[in-house]
Structures are given as structure tokens and as C-alpha cells.
Amino acid sequence: MSAIAILCQPSSRHYNADMVRYQAKLLLLVFATSTLLEAQEVRVVDLLNVKQRTELRFPPAPSECPDECIHGCVGGSSVADGASDPRDLRALGVALDRVTPTDITLDTFEAEFRLLNTGLAPIDIPVWPHLSDLQPSSESQQFSYLNLGLQVRFSPTGPGVGWVELYGSPEREDSIITLKPREWVQVKAKVKLHTWPTEPMETHLEGDFWLRGNVFKPQVCGGFTEGVNIYPNHTLFPAVAVHFSPTRQPKKP
């Protein structure tokens, strides 16, 4: 019997909460897979051989600045949190089309992401690899930008997560694109885990994302970034089976 047919059966008093959650997740996977098959690719972003530039400039300390002034130079960031609204017509999903190799370690591995507009409304997506390119010529001028984090994370076991980021500004042509419903962007990148389990395991890698609007405020010998999370609804896609070992390849002499 097909997954859809199973999900359409009347509910039974023998169905517990776990079964209901399982059926809901299965239905979402069926919907997500059919959405992938009908979607249209509009951009390829290849980061495999790109060294991303993310440093931002700020005004230097004055030459007459005393030692305590220089030592007081600080930078930082803050992020306003929130949650998605189920009524929001915007939605995104990240599918992992390929992971190479599937025997992953603490070294970098290649991942191919498919970022898909699964909602009913267009959404702006940053696609530029270099944050540094988006900063105005004046190092004292604050500026706004978007950043998108494409994640891989262990599922259902953890902890294990890695990511790559893209950036965009309305002031830089072609750094932001508008994804219409059922359009998608392919991103090829090298990913490194930032957290990981301490034991080898058979697990799955699942795609995810974050989307954030930011304002960088340069200060003398520092800078501060204020971020606000943007919460389109999430669509989950099937995960990729991998073997993980918490080891590194020996360095070549």
C-alpha cells in the first residue's frame, strides 16, 4: 500500500501520538519529494574552489589614542530571535542532493545543496560568496546585508552540524535573487563540521538553513553587527545516509 494511501486511512484509537507524528512527517516527505521533481533550477553557485572573503573594515584608532583606548577596541554581534508563522506564505527547504565522500570525518567534505522555494510567495535569497565585497567604500559607513546559512546536521542522532554562508545586498547587483515558488538554486560547497559526536556512528545528514537580515555598524577599531532572524516556514527533505568517524586525515609531510 502506498504511503499516501496509508495516511488517508481513518484514525484508530490504537494510533498513539508517535504514530500520528510519524504519519505527518511521512506526508511532508511525500509532498517535498513531489515538489522537488516539479521545481525549476534558476542559479548554480559553485563554492568548491572559492576562498570566501568575510572580513569587514572599520576605522582605525587615532594615532594619539592612549593604550587603554586601543585595548578597549571591541567588536561583537547580536541576533534578535523569533519563530516562523504557519500562516506565512513564504517557505524554504534545503535538500542534500549529494555528499562526497559518504564516509565523513572531521575534514571538509563536498555537499550539493538544493535551496527550493516551497511556499506560495516569492522570497529574496542572497547568493554572493564574499561579504567583504558588499561593504561600502567608506569604512565608517554602516550598511545592511542578508546572509543565508546552508546547514548539514546529523539526524536523528547528534550533535553534529556544519554550514556554509552566502551574502547579499540590494546595493550590489546580482548578489540577491528573488526565488519564485517552485524555483531552486543549487549550491556546491566544501563543508566542515563545527560540532560532532565523540564516537563513530552510522547516521544521516539532513539539510537545513537560516536566513538573517543584518546591519554592520563600524566603530573606531571595531564594529558591531545587529542581526534579525527571518523565519519563512521550513520544509524538510529526505536525509543522506553517511558513516561518521571523529578522526582527521594525517597531514602530508
For residues 53 and 108, membership in a common domain is answered with yes
Which residue is it, cell 569587514? 56
The domain tally of the chain equals 2
Cα 3 to the center of its chain, rounded Å = 29
Query: What are the beta bridge partners of residue 235?
Result: 93
Are 94 and 151 contacting, i.e. CB atoms less than 8 angstroms apart? yes
Is the model's pLDDT at 7 over the cut of 80?
Answer: no
Same domain, 75 and 9: no
Contact 235, 35 (CB under 8 A): yes
DSSP state of 248: -
Q: Which range, of 2-16, 126-140, 173-187, averages the lowest pLDDT?
A: 2-16
Mean confidence (pLDDT) of the chain: 83
Both 21 and 142 in one domain: the answer is no
Residue 37's pLDDT is what?
Answer: 58
Specify the pLDDT at position 4.
Answer: 36
* 252: in domain: no
pTM here is 0.80
Alpha helices in the chain, H assignment, sequence order? 3-7, 17-38, 67-71
What dihedral do alpha carbons 218, 211, 165, 203 form, nearest 10°? 140
Per-residue model confidence (pLDDT) at position 72:
55
Under the banding of pLDDT at 50, 70 and 90, the label for residue 222 is: confident
pLDDT at 71: 56
Mean pLDDT of 18-33: 47
Confidence class of residue 80 from pLDDT cuts 50, 70 and 90?
confident
What percent of the chain shows pLDDT beyond 90?
Answer: 62
Is residue 104 scored above 60 in pLDDT?
A: yes
Same domain, 134 and 212: yes
Give the per-residue pLDDT at 249: 79
Query: Which residue range forms the structural domain that includes residue 19?
Result: 1-38
Q: What is the mean pLDDT of residues 82-86?
A: 78
249 in any annotated domain: no
Alpha helices by DSSP H, 84-164? none
Residue 66: its pLDDT value, please? 59
At 207, the amino acid letter reads G
Residue 202 shares a structural domain with residue 223: yes
Within a domain: 124: yes
The mean per-residue pLDDT over the stretch 205-226 comes to 91
28 against 50, higher pLDDT: 50
pLDDT at 220: 81
